[in-house]
Structure 1
Amino acid sequence: MTTVLHNSTTPSVSVTAASGNDQPQLVATIVPDEQRISFWPQHFGLIPQWVALEPRVFGWMDRLCEDYCGGIWNLYTLNNGGAFMAPEPDDDDDETWVLFNAMNGNR
């Protein structure tokens, strides 16, 4: 079982494993706007042509999700040194996105 906690005053999400599991807690923290410029080179700078990563993510999301039509994406860092990006959720609706991948036969 996994527990996800979201704190509205501190922009972070904590994921803890079920009790009895000695794995450390994984915490995702949103990257503030003023630090977004350094996010890509800091976490992906060793990847050739890292500058093209963000538009490629947008392109794949557009291909794999019929309901996606652009929007703001949040950048996150993890307390284990990892990083990821995710579309910013809308607070005013309960919309869910369905991803499909015809190459895997799940459509």
Structure 2
Amino acid sequence: MNREDLAAALELHATDAAHGAALALRAGAAFKVWEKLKPAHQYLDIYAWRAECMAQDGVSTCKDFEQGLPDLQRAGDDPVALGRVDTAEGTHLVFLAADLKSCVAVL
């Protein structure tokens, strides 16, 4: 997947995290998208558990988790590709539809 296609997919997703990741990509941020597809619920299980652990440790979950986890949950069993965009603020995890043309969630 190239930079422009990933930025376009992120721009279609109406969350602050997706917008920030798209801006970072257009400014030259490093990124990676893995080709292997997995059902969205497998990622949801991992990241919902991570958010729960963070909350138990007194670390409030970030806005990206608050917006992204419900999006990932709605994807259910749909296959998604995992990617990442490295911004100045940190790494955004990007979940893309199987066709890689639309963004499902950003954490």
Given the two structures, how large is their TM-score scaled by the length of structure 1?
Answer: 0.31
Greater relative contact order (Cα < 8 A, sep 6+): 2
Given the two structures, how large is their TM-score scaled by the length of structure 2?
Answer: 0.31
The structure carrying a bigger helix percent of its residues is: 2
Larger of the two Rg values belongs to structure: 1
